[in-house]
Structure 1
Amino acid sequence: MTALSTNSERKAAAETVPATAEDDIPLYEARRQIYPQSVHGRYRTIKWVVLAVTLGIYYLLPFVRWDRGPDAPGQAVLIDFPNRRFYFFFLEIWPQEFYYVAGLLILAALILFLMNAVAGRVWCGYLCPQTVWTDLFMAVERLIEGDRRERMRADAAPWSLDKFAHKALTHSVWLLIAWWTGGAWVLYFADAPTLVVELATFQAPAVAYMSIAILTFTTYALAGHMREQVCTYMCPWPRIQAALTDEYALNVTYRYDRGEPRGSVKKAAALREKGQPAGDCIDCDQCVAVCPTGVDIRKGLQLPCIQCGLCIDACNNVMDKIDRPRNLIAYESEANLEARMAGKPFVQRIVRPRTILYAALIVFACGLMLTALIGRATEGVAAIHDRNPLFVKLSDGSIRNAYTVRLTNKLLESRTFALSVEGVPDASMEVVGDQADSLSIGPDQTREVRVLVTTRDKLPPSTSLPVTFRIRDTSSGLTATVQDHFIGP
């Protein structure tokens, strides 16, 4: 038996086999329980490090403090819905600056596209929250109930006190993790230490308890029970990824040119002594046993495969034991695999038009956001013209327009502004109830004032003049402007 050279040839060979009843694939397939086996190796270590770092950030970040001065929130990352603010360390995002959040989402999408172009579903295998929490839940299950064989044996055995105790402990720890996951989430929306005390003394808002309950249920269900079903059936990214990838993207791949034909260690050694082809794969199924989604990578790239690399670790451990070269399963591109099987030179193109484009777009997006942040104004002004009436004609023939002007102070200190109007000939301005040259605004606040603009100049019929409102910080001299219209008869 010889290895097939290309995917198309393997497909053609499969099509020559007569179809049988066993070959029919049902439209809906009942779920089979997957018992992933523990494994040690480079990629498993990477996954442990990523798990520790990401969960550490998620659970501990709400408690990180950041000094913003008196009367300002001291939490480093805070989504303050009551005051309509988002605090991220030294940044303070106002509602009208939501474009920063939009920019971050666009940047995240571009980074995801670049990751896919370089190494396929590497996000799914290492960084996706579903993967991270599922890894944590499986580690707890393995610690309490044992490894693959112990869990399979226990599940096949009838219920006993010992089995019930192990299952109850596992699910209790799962629920505890899920509960703290929901609890950590709500801490991003209020001062964390204060909310923890309120939650413990049952004085927190009802919405906090509801949010924790919902996230506890979803985390427990998704990471503890649904697991690979989320990746296979619920998540849209595998379908999107298939449309974005190309033949040069690195994916976890079984190297057919080395692995086939399969056989035992003794059989392979005997064939090699006779000068006959023999593959390195000994059909031990360790790659399948460690896979969290139950994929047999030797059947090619499949939708459930999350590219986590655990099968690489398992196969490398076996190769070490039988004294064969490592990386029978490895991160490999389809183009390079076909080149190897055809006896052509090695092909590896990480830098190519697709990755250059994504990288350039990421740099461009970062540059735009950085420029916007550097030039971010700490003051602002907006004006709304009265709709009814649009203007008033006074007894002396003057024309008056009324406006509602909103002044914004984004600094964490009180400021005084002078308001002026430009663009209307022979115009006078009056701020109702205050002085136009000394409008005080508190720290991190806005203020609305009613402004009357009057002109004694005779305006042509159906006049609409552009009018500019300007505010100037009386201390720093910083200014901001907004335009509207002055309407005449």
Structure 2
Amino acid sequence: MTAAQDYHSPSEGVPFYTEKGNAKPRAVQGRFRTYKWWLMAATLAWWHLAPFLRWDRGPYSPHQAILIDMAGRRAYFFNIEIWPQEVYYLTGLLLIAAITLFMMSAVAGRVWCGFLCWQTVYTDLFVSVERKVLGDRNKRIAFSQAPFSLGKLGKLALLNAVWLIIAAACGIGFVLWFGDAPHLLVQILTLQAPPGMYLFIGLIGGFCFLLAGYARERVCVYMCPYARFQSAMFDEHSLIVSYEAWRGEPRGPLKGGIQGRDPKEVFQDRGHCVDCQMCVQACPTGIDIRRGTQLACIGCGLCVDACNSVMERFGLPRNLISYDSSYNLQARTAGLEPRLRLVRPRTLIYAAVLVVAGSAMLGTLLMRPDMRVDVLHVRVPLAVAVSGGRVRNGYDYKVLNMARHPRTVTLRAIDPANVSLDVVGGGSGSAVTLQIPADNVATFHIFTTSHSHPEGNEAVTFQLTEPGHPKVDIRNVSFMAQPD
């Protein structure tokens, strides 16, 4: 078998990193290219327009539907409001995202990388701009090899200027998620925004410019950790971009053309692959998919579109390269019927984890209380002896009111009995009234006075209730220390 036919040859001697130039993919048309255009438009629209969505939360609350309010230490997602005390929801969200990614990989390989990853989306956009300015693949190769001239400098300046505009838009889109988008956008464009905001725009835009404009496929091959363990997510039924070697080999150029000839006779004693290199030229990472599954394949399917266009030109069946499983490749090689198995133990486990994690998050969100209490015993001093053989203890009593209206609550110590409360700057007695501002945390300094307890520290139970709302009954257990 010749080198051109060695589609399964190993890669001995290939260094870990090669100093080759960026891949210059050829423009192709087809189903997967259309999918990529639509998904690029959707992801970019979401990134730049979602911060402008409005959501009425009433007075004293922001009306941006999706907002990460760093100053207010709050995150908003439509009707959901996440407080710093609820950072565990972020952990749950990351878990769901990871399991979703694993499930997508088990079903359809690196479909995330090929269609939805931000590196892929922006690299695709930057390459599209490059194609408009410099031309398609052959013209870009000739341009990169041409000697320096004023014309070349002008085109490079134009290309980088457009890239910088896109990168700046990316950076602006990022900061709009952290403040009122319409107001921030006006501030940014009129140069009235804080210096720190321009710093973040520069950082995000700079990374976008460098990674999508110059690093490109190197991010996917060398920098992205997912590429390193992707194969652990696959099994024999995972749909990945595959070359049907049983049908394409032995490959080679077609001599004499096919016009006026029957394709069945022309390809009777040879494979359908005409070794045109179109699949290699269309690949954004520059690999030859005919060598089998590779780390650098991001599963974008552009080689499928390129190959299908060649197959149609020669009157051959489509999908010499296609999304297929290794099981089906072996089945077709043996003349057996291929089958699609989306439901299997691996995907069922991922789906079960997703259901459990999603249900747990949804359940806690729906049932979470709108008021929380933390009690912290003052350490210095732990306890003070007062007249009448009584003991005084101090506490920091924090009430988180997650409702968007002020509330009046009643605090008492219900166990042990005969404990009196004294709120600094407030009332005193067996029960005290506390005013909790809307959408805020109120901290009260409280003293308990009780009879001494010779046996040492004694547990105390605080009860917080809200008149007219019987469901509000929050109890916290602390301790009453005894003086030394």
Is the structural similarity TM-score above 0.5? yes
Instruction: Report if the CA contact (8 A) 1:272-1:278 is conserved.
Output: no
Partner of 1:236: 225
Picking from 439, 449, 457, the partner of 1:454 is: 449
Picking from 212, 237, 254, the partner of 2:243 is: 254
Question: 1-side partners of 2:232 and 2:424: how far apart?
Answer: 61
SS in 2 for 1:469: strand
Question: 2-side partners of 1:442 and 1:420: how far apart?
Answer: 20
Give 1:90 deviation, angstroms: 0.8
Question: 2-side partners of 1:68 and 1:270: how far apart?
Answer: 69
Question: 2-side partners of 1:126 and 1:54: how far apart?
Answer: 10
Picking from 372, 379, 384, the partner of 1:387 is: 379
Give the unaligned 5+ runs of structure 2.
Answer: none
Matched, 1:482 2:456: no
Partner of 1:445: 440
Instruction: Report if the CA contact (8 A) 1:271-1:278 is conserved.
Output: no
Question: 2-side partners of 1:364 and 1:26: how far apart?
Answer: 44
SS in 2 for 1:447: strand
Picking from 136, 142, 152, the partner of 2:131 is: 142
Question: 1:214-229 counterparts in 2 under 5 A?
Answer: 214-229=203-218
Question: 2-side partners of 1:23 and 1:476: how far apart?
Answer: 73
Matched, 1:47 2:36: yes
Matched, 1:332 2:321: no
Partner of 2:109: 120
Partner of 1:109: 98
Instruction: Report if the CA contact (8 A) 2:263-2:316 is conserved.
Output: no
Question: 2-side partners of 1:24 and 1:462: how far apart?
Answer: 75
Give 1:481 deviation, angstroms: 2.6
Matched, 1:309 2:301: yes
| Greater displacement, 424-433 / 264-273 | 264-273
Q: Deviations over 1:265-317 (max 9, x none)?
A: 45797996499532111111111111000011001111111000000011111
Partner of 1:18: none
Question: 1-side partners of 2:307 and 2:50: how far apart?
Answer: 38
Give 1:362 deviation, angstroms: 0.4
Partner of 1:212: 201
Partner of 1:472: 465
Instruction: Report if the CA contact (8 A) 2:22-2:216 is conserved.
Output: no
Matched, 1:185 2:145: no
Equivalenced residues, count:
473
Amino acid in the other structure paired with 1:65? R
Question: 2-side partners of 1:210 and 1:301: how far apart?
Answer: 41
Instruction: Report if the CA contact (8 A) 1:413-1:444 is conserved.
Output: yes
Amino acid in the other structure paired with 1:443? A
Partner of 1:288: 280
Question: 2-side partners of 1:346 and 1:189: how far apart?
Answer: 50
Question: 2-side partners of 1:360 and 1:469: how far apart?
Answer: 40
Amino acid in the other structure paired with 2:89? Y
Give 1:333 deviation, angstroms: 1.0
Question: 2-side partners of 1:152 and 1:441: how far apart?
Answer: 68
Picking from 155, 177, 198, the partner of 2:187 is: 198
Amino acid in the other structure paired with 2:441? T
| Greater displacement, 148-157 / 105-114 | 148-157
Amino acid in the other structure paired with 1:206? P
Instruction: Report if the CA contact (8 A) 1:416-1:475 is conserved.
Output: no
Question: 2-side partners of 1:402 and 1:67: how far apart?
Answer: 41
SS in 1 for 2:280: helix
| Greater displacement, 413-422 / 360-369 | 413-422
Question: 1:58-77 counterparts in 2 under 5 A?
Answer: 58-77=47-66
Give 1:349 deviation, angstroms: 2.0
Amino acid in the other structure paired with 1:102? T
Give 1:156 deviation, angstroms: 2.3
Give 1:220 deviation, angstroms: 0.3
Partner of 2:410: 418
Give 1:475 deviation, angstroms: 4.3
Partner of 1:463: 457
Question: 2-side partners of 1:276 and 1:115: how far apart?
Answer: 39
Amino acid in the other structure paired with 1:295? I
Give 1:422 deviation, angstroms: 2.1
Q: Deviations over 1:160-215 (max 9, x none)?
A: 34333222211111000101111111111121222222223333222111111111
Give 1:131 deviation, angstroms: 0.2
Amino acid in the other structure paired with 1:198? Q
Question: 2-side partners of 1:275 and 1:384: how far apart?
Answer: 82
Instruction: Report if the CA contact (8 A) 1:288-1:311 is conserved.
Output: yes
Question: 2-side partners of 1:89 and 1:481: how far apart?
Answer: 31
Give 1:376 deviation, angstroms: 1.2
Picking from 314, 318, 322, the partner of 2:314 is: 322
Question: 1:344-383 counterparts in 2 under 5 A?
Answer: 344-383=336-375
Partner of 1:19: none
Question: 1-side partners of 2:457 and 2:377: how far apart?
Answer: 15
TM-score (structure 1 length as normaliser):
0.92
Amino acid in the other structure paired with 1:40? Q
| Greater displacement, 210-219 / 240-249 | 240-249
* Residues 190 and 275 (structure 1), Cα distance of their counterparts in 2 relative to 1, 3 Å cut: closer
Give the unaligned 5+ runs of structure 1.
Answer: 16-21
Q: Deviations over 1:105-151 (max 9, x none)?
A: 10000100100110111111011100000011111111122111221
